[in-house]
Every structure is written in C-alpha cells, then in structure tokens.
C-alpha cells in the first residue's frame, strides 16, 4: 500500500504536501537516537488511510489520512492501548526530539517511557495528529482529489468529525478499546467527545484544562484571531498555497492566544515594564513582553499552517458534547468510563468551573483535581509533575 503524505505545516508556503512514499519508510523518516527509540519502541510517524469522510455538516473529504506515532507494544488481548490527544498547535509527537519533518520537540516530555506515567512496559501509547491539522493528517494544505491543495475548499470541521476520523484510524489498527483516552485543552475536548461518542471503547478518560462546550468567552477570544488571519493581505481567501504564507495574521492570532494561555501575575513577575534589552520603547523599541509575544508568534508561523489554525479554531468553537444529545448534562450522564477531570487554578481561558461541570456531570465522577500553577492555561503542560501524578492515579484505578 502506498500513502500520500498529506497535511503539511512546514511546507505550506510552497504548497508541497510531500512525496508519495511507502508506509514502511515512513516509520524511519525521523532521525532519532536509536537506543532510546529501542527502549520506547517508538514507531516514528506513521500513516493510516481511512477512506472518505462525510463531516457532521455534510462536507466531504476523501481519501483521508491520519498520521500517528506510537510507543510500546499492543498486547495480544489488545486491551493496553492509551490514546493521547494533542492540543491546538500540538501534534502526534508527544515525546521525543526534533527531527526531519518534525520541527518541534515533544510537547509532554516525560509522559511516555519505561516507568513513566504512560509506562511503555505496560501500555501501547498512540497519538494521532488531528484531522484538519498540518502534521501528517489530512488538512487544508493536503491535496484534494483533483491534485490541488484543499485551501478554501476544506470543509468546516467539528470536534466530533475529528473523533470520527480517529475512530476509523484505530479501527484500522485493530484497537477495540482504550485503557485510557487522555488530553488537555483541545485534546481534552476530543477525549471527552470520545468518552461520550464511544462509551464502550473508553475504560478511563483524563480530561485536563478543557470544557464540555466552548464558552462565549472562548469564542470571543477566537474571533479576533480568526479575523486577523483572514485580513492578512497574503491570505487570498485561504488559497495561498504556492504563494507567500499569511504569517502576519497567524502571528497576531498567536499573540492573542498566548496571552490567554498565561496569567497577568506571571507576565508581571517575569517582564514587568522592562524594555527588551537594547531597545527603548520611548523611541519605537519594544517592551520585553512585546518581544516575548512576537517570539511566540514567529515561532508558530514557522511550523504551522494558518488554514489549519482556522479550521481547528472553528472546530473548537463548535465543541458542545451535548449537541444533538439533549444537552451537556444529559450527554455526560451517559458516560460509562472512569473519568478524571483536572483544571489549572489560574487558568483564565478554560475556567476551573468548566471542569467542575464535567466532573459533576459524569456518572462515575469525582471532584476534579486542581493543578496549582502560576502559568494559567499552559499549566497543563508546564506542571508536568502534577499532571504525571494525576495520570498515574487515573491509571491505577
């Protein structure tokens, strides 16, 4: 079987969605340290063809590819799989170094490995790149059936569409049930949607710094991000592949988002009113906090496709686990999994009260775990020890 490598973040500017390569070769495409890779039994990035997909809103995609990475070994009973769901700008590379085709290192380092919370001696850990993304799975930069990038033709997705694609992907891998589905932020949305959509396939779920339904405030913060990308003079209505990439708008979006991910107290203690060294704000220079935000904007545009950012942001806006199910509370009551809910006490984007709603609503719920952090929403990534402890506890139940 041959696979089309689709969904390119890094090559979005040239419309290059990658060469056609045999699936077997994909596993070795990244140059990783052999010894540690042996211990982790890390697959590298692999690709699954899941066929055509009709979206919740009657959009059409086909044929669809889902990229994934895995660590550890699926046991004979096929009951030791754990699914890790990444956040907005994450990908399937949960742990591990940068490498060719992988411009960012693992986003949850330490989570997976021998004796790690997701112990590769015990679990087969898989992470899929989200549908609509740009790190291997089908997204707006992928080639449509006419051989041209989707661009503006890419359909609007919901979190539920993304989970439907993941269900098809794990079906292809022969995984019937998961010991746990784990995610934070947008990853938590998918983890919760998995838990409600396929209750018979999820024994535990761990939902961190997320929500049962995108709030008015979250949609409000997204609005100027979406508008900034669309107003970029290089955006061309979304059909910019083969032309300059609309990086300025994505950088603005990232600056807004990044500020929502942190806290006033942290920014004050870290930057205060300091000028960026060597610059004078009184004469056109930048404050240190401005330089910091620009850095984060610049870093993202080097690795992320603006169209994917739009598609995923709109998918997050669509998130409502109660849609078509009689509302959030009724949907949550149908959950059969053992659910661990956590939030960050200083999170100003995904409020602890939104996690409370999940914890209180699921049938086998228990009080949420409050992660203590000064970092706000990003605490779900920064406070690795607390996250590790709650995942260990969830898996010990």
Say whether 88 sits in a helix, a strand or coil. Answer: coil
Q: Which stretch binds a second copy (CB under 8 A): 112-120, 137-145, 268-276, 335-343?
A: 268-276
Shortest Å distance, C-beta 147 to a second copy: 26
Q: How many contiguous H segments (helices) and E segments (strands) does the chain have? A: 13, 12
β pairing state of 112-113 and 124-128: unpaired
248, 16 in Cβ contact below 8 A? no
CA distance 4 to 32: 23
**Residue of 43, 70, 127, 185 marked active site:** 185
- Tell me if residue 232 is catalytic: no
Compute CA distances 33 → 42, 224, 350, 378, whole Å: 11, 42, 37, 28
Cβ proximity to a second copy, 65 vs 255, nearer residue: 255
Cβ proximity to a second copy, 194 vs 261, nearer residue: 261
The helix (H) or strand (E) run that includes residue 206 is: strand 204-208
7, 138 in Cβ contact below 8 A? yes
User: What is the DSSP code (8-state) at residue 379?
Assistant: H
Shortest Å distance, C-beta 153 to a second copy: 13
Binding mask 319-348 for a second copy (x = CB under 8 A): -x---------------------------x
Among 92, 95, 206, 289, binds a second copy (CB under 8 A): 289
User: What is the DSSP code (8-state) at residue 8?
Assistant: B
Among 172, 244, 264, 393, binds a second copy (CB under 8 A): 264
CA distance 228 to 285: 23
Binding mask 143-172 for a second copy (x = CB under 8 A): -------------x-x--------------
Among 100, 278, 284, 324, binds a second copy (CB under 8 A): 284
Question: Should residue 307 be labelled a site residue for a second copy when binding is judged by CB under 8 A?
Answer: no
Cβ proximity to a second copy, 125 vs 212, nearer residue: 212
Q: What b-and-e string marks burial along 223-253, b requiring 16 or more CB atoms within 10 Å of the CB?
A: eebbebbeebeebeebbbbeeebbbbbbbbb
Q: Which stretch binds a second copy (CB under 8 A): 45-53, 89-97, 230-238, 337-345?
A: 230-238
Compute CA distances 289 → 229, 259, 286, 301, whole Å: 22, 10, 8, 19
The residues, any chain, with a CB within 8 Å of residue 25's CB and separated by 6 or more, are none
358, 332 in Cβ contact below 8 A? yes
Cβ proximity to a second copy, 232 vs 378, nearer residue: 232
Among 21, 144, 256, 384, binds a second copy (CB under 8 A): 256
Cβ proximity to a second copy, 11 vs 239, nearer residue: 239
Among 145, 310, 148, smallest CA distance to 242 is for 148
342, 370 in Cβ contact below 8 A? yes
- Tell me if residue 52 is catalytic: no
β pairing state of 124-128 and 81-85: parallel
| Binding to a second copy in span 189-218, by CB under 8 A | 213-217
Shortest Å distance, C-beta 132 to a second copy: 15
Q: Which stretch binds a second copy (CB under 8 A): 41-49, 65-73, 257-265, 358-366?
A: 257-265
Shortest Å distance, C-beta 47 to a second copy: 29
Shortest Å distance, C-beta 135 to a second copy: 25
Shortest Å distance, C-beta 348 to a second copy: 7
CA distance 390 to 327: 28
Question: Phi and psi at residue 165, in whole multiples of 5°?
Answer: -65, -40
Question: Should residue 251 be labelled a site residue for a second copy when binding is judged by CB under 8 A?
Answer: yes
250, 229 in Cβ contact below 8 A? yes
Catalytic residues: 185, 347, 377
Q: Residues interacting with a second copy, by CB under 8 A?
A: 56-57, 156, 158, 213-217, 219-221, 223-224, 227-228, 231-233, 248-249, 251-253, 255-256, 259, 262-264, 267-268, 270-273, 281-284, 287, 289-290, 293-294, 297, 317-318, 320, 348, 351
């Amino acid at each position: 079987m041959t696979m089309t490598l689709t969904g390119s973040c890094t090559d979005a500017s040239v419309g290059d969605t990658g060469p056609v390569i045999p699936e077997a070769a994909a596993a070795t495409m990244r140059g990783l340290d052999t010894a540690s890779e042996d211990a982790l039994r890390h697959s590298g990035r692999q690709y699954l063809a899941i066929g055509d997909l009709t979206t919740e809103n009657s959009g059409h995609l086909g044929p669809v590819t889902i990229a994934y990475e895995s660590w550890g070994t699926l046991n004979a009973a096929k009951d030791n799989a754990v699914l890790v769901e990444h956040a907005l700008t994450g990908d399937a590379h949960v742990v591990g170094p940068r490498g060719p085709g992988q411009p960012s290192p693992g986003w949850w380092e330490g989570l997976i490995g021998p004796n790690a919370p997701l112990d590769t001696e015990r679990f087969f850990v898989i992470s899929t790149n989200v549908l609509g993304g740009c790190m291997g799975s089908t997204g707006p930069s992928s080639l449509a059936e006419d051989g041209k990038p989707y661009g503006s033709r890419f359909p609007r997705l919901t979190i539920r569409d993304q989970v439907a694609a993941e269900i098809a992907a794990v079906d292809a891998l022969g995984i019937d049930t998961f010991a746990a589905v784990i995610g934070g932020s947008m990853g938590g949305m998918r983890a919760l949607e998995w838990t409600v959509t396929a209750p018979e396939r999820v024994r535990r779920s761990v939902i961190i710094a997320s929500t049962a339904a995108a709030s008015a405030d979250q949609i409000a913060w997204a609005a100027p991000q979406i508008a900034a990308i669309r107003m970029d003079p290089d955006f061309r209505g979304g059909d910019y592949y083969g032309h300059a990439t609309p990086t300025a708008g994505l950088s603005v979006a990232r600056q807004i988002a990044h500020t929502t991910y942190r806290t006033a107290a942290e920014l004050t203690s870290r930057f205060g009113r300091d000028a960026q060294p060597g610059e004078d704000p009184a004469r056109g220079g930048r404050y240190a906090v401005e330089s910091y935000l620009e850095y984060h904007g610049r870093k993202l545009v080097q690795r992320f496709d603006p169209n994917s950012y739009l598609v995923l942001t709109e998918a997050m806006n669509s998130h409502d686990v109660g849609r078509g199910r009689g509302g959030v509370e009724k949907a949550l009551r149908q959950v059969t999994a053992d659910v661990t809910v956590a939030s960050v006490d200083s999170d100003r984007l995904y409020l602890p009260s939104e996690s409370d709603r999940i914890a209180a609503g699921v049938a086998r719920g228990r009080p949420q775990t409050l992660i203590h952090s000064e970092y706000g929403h990003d605490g779900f990534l920064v406070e690795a020890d607390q996250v590790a402890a709650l995942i260990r506890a969830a898996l010990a139940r």
